[in-house]
Amino acid sequence: MECKDSSKTCNFLSDLEYQTGFGNHFSSEAIGGALPQGQNSPLICPLGLYAEQISGTSFTSPRKLNQRSWLYRIKPSVTHEPFRPRIPRHEKLVSEFNQSNSSATPTQLRWKPVEIPETPTDFVDGLYTICGAGSSYLRHGFAIHIYTANKSMENSAFCNADGDFLIVPQKGKLWITTECGRLEVCPGEIVILPQGFRFAVDLPDGPSRGYIAEIFGTHLQLPDLGPIGANGLAAPRDFLVPVAWYEDGSRPGYTIVQKYGGELFTAKQDFSPFNVVAWHGNYVPYKYDLSKFCPYNTVLMDHSDPSINTVLTAPTDKPGVALLDFVIFPPRWLVAEHTFRPPYYHRNCMSEFMGLIYGGYEAKADGFHPGGASLHSCMTPHGPDTKTYEATIALGNEAGPHRIADTMAFMFESCLIPRVCPWALESPFMDHDYYQCWIGLKSHFSGLSANEDNRDLQNGKPIER
């Protein structure tokens, strides 16, 4: 469908169409017959369009890993003025983490929800890095960002040359226009915008806030299910891909903002980058509704590892080790018998960044709010706060089945050790009293043998001495 008014962003339809599937080879055309038949780059494309390939992997990657798409557009994306450093510079974006721009700390960190700015701020200006590891230049690593915005992008598009964006909106709906079409993304959904795609973000509901994981050098995929079998967790058919949609006409002064090596550059052109009339391939933006996730859980005893809640994973060359996992903690039943049901106290060789989209989190009775975040780095101990622990053991073995409802927490987990940016450590939203949530944990040690100690239990509850 063509945009009738090329001078402004077109209204999104309330019922956008999507294609379904994960990792499929898709094809879509906004005008019938726009896709070439039998070849990718004919001498003259249908409708006088230009053929342009976008590659997400090297040309010689194994077929099962190779990602690329062919776009058929009114004008090619190369038609722009030279890139120049964006002025003023964006000082809070990082894509190469070292001692000069970030710090290492094993301390448990937590942030309160960041306030939406009062001054006009779009998605690009409201984006800043919290922590990360590795380097986009070396094509290995990740970065975690927060975004806060209160205005739509105007006559401009953003392109991330450093890596893929996994965006987790927490507040406010996003209308995202991409070269493959349009996506509506609400809190409770996620969207993946692959490296190199140009996109624009509009805010139909006003102010928006959310989290972003950026991945350098690889792409997200569905985790293997192993002994779970053929079904469960995130189903491929629930991932949604846009259909072709284009803008035509003159757009004087249109700005492409490109993130390259963590720095922003701009280039001017006189047309919209969303002029793709047809496309086909498997390198595409896509979204997923987290409520579609089919969780698995313990049905007899003990608390399962959080890996059973993995939605997407970016693997490393080492089997079973992730550059980054995206894990969720959705509504579900707890039924384990004679078991401490919240997450166990833990030290992990992986590093864990957590966020909360809505509701509360089962292991933190107080202080962890929607829009907030926490970071527990490699081998830093963490687990339920004092209030959660005491409330759990007070129930004893008579707790019965319990449904965790009205919540959606998530975790970005990585094998790399993150360094934290100075503005995150100095943030007014840093919770400097986070450590206090564990200080109240007291000894319940009885000094008796196991058999004697069992005699001092009534209905699974310890007798006060």
Task: Give the pLDDT confidence of 191-241 residue by residue, as tens digits.
Answer: 999 999 999 999 999 999 999 999 999 999 999 999 999 999 999 999 999
Task: Give mean pLDDT, residues 105-109.
Answer: 97
Q: Model confidence at 365, in pLDDT bands (50, 70, 90)?
A: confident
CA distance linking residue 129 with residue 211, whole number of Å: 10
Task: Give mean pLDDT, residues 387-409.
Answer: 92
Q: Model confidence at 450, in pLDDT bands (50, 70, 90)?
A: low
Q: Model confidence at 347, in pLDDT bands (50, 70, 90)?
A: very high
Of the listed ranges 187-191, 333-337, 352-356, 452-456, the one predicted with least confidence: 452-456
> Residue 382 annotated as binding?
yes
Among residues of the chain, what percentage have pLDDT more than 70? 94
> Residue 346 annotated as binding?
yes
Looking at residue 376, its amino acid is: H
Task: Give mean pLDDT, residues 142-159.
Answer: 98
Among residues of the chain, what percentage have pLDDT more than 90? 90
Q: At residue 459, does pLDDT exceed 80?
A: no
Task: Give mean pLDDT, residues 178-202.
Answer: 98
Tell me the backbone φ, ψ of residue 439, rounded to 5 degrees.
-60, -30
Q: At residue 465, does pLDDT exceed 50?
A: no
Q: Model confidence at 398, in pLDDT bands (50, 70, 90)?
A: confident
Tell me the backbone φ, ψ of residue 48, rounded to 5 degrees.
75, 25
Sort strands 156-160 and 254-260 into parallel, antiparallel or unpaired: parallel
Q: Model confidence at 391, in pLDDT bands (50, 70, 90)?
A: very high
Task: Give the pLDDT confidence of 62-77 residue by residue, as tens digits.
Answer: 999 999 999 999 999 9
What token pair was written down for 274?
Answer: 């969303």
Q: pTM of the prediction?
A: 0.93
Task: Give mean pLDDT, residues 301-311.
Answer: 93
CB 302 within 8 A of CB 336: yes
CA-CA-CA-CA torsion sign (74, 204, 176, 80)? positive
Per-position b or e across 105-114, b if 16+ CB within 10 A of its CB: eeebbbbbbb
> Residue 246 annotated as binding?
no
Q: Model confidence at 455, in pLDDT bands (50, 70, 90)?
A: low
CA distance linking residue 4 with residue 192, whole number of Å: 28
Task: Give the pLDDT confidence of 80-100 residue by residue, as tens digits.
Answer: 999 999 999 999 999 999 999
Q: At residue 463, does pLDDT exceed 80?
A: no
302 CB-near residues (< 8 Å, 6+ apart): 336, 339
CA distance linking residue 403 with residue 384, whole number of Å: 18
Report pLDDT for 461. 55
* Given 25, 145, 219, 303, the catalytic residue: 303
Q: At residue 453, does pLDDT exceed 70?
A: no
> Residue 402 annotated as binding?
no
For the question of residue 432 being annotated catalytic, the response is: no
CA distance linking residue 245 with residue 159, whole number of Å: 18
CA distance linking residue 45 with residue 178, whole number of Å: 22
Strand order, beta sheet including 174-178? 84-85, 263-269, 254-260, 156-160, 198-202, 174-178, 181-185
> For residue 416, which of 353, 323, 327 has the smallest C-alpha distance?
323
CA distance linking residue 34 with residue 29, whole number of Å: 6
CA distance linking residue 256 with residue 271, whole number of Å: 10
The total number of residues shown for the chain amounts to: 465
Task: Give mean pLDDT, residues 353-366.
Answer: 94
Report pLDDT for 6. 37
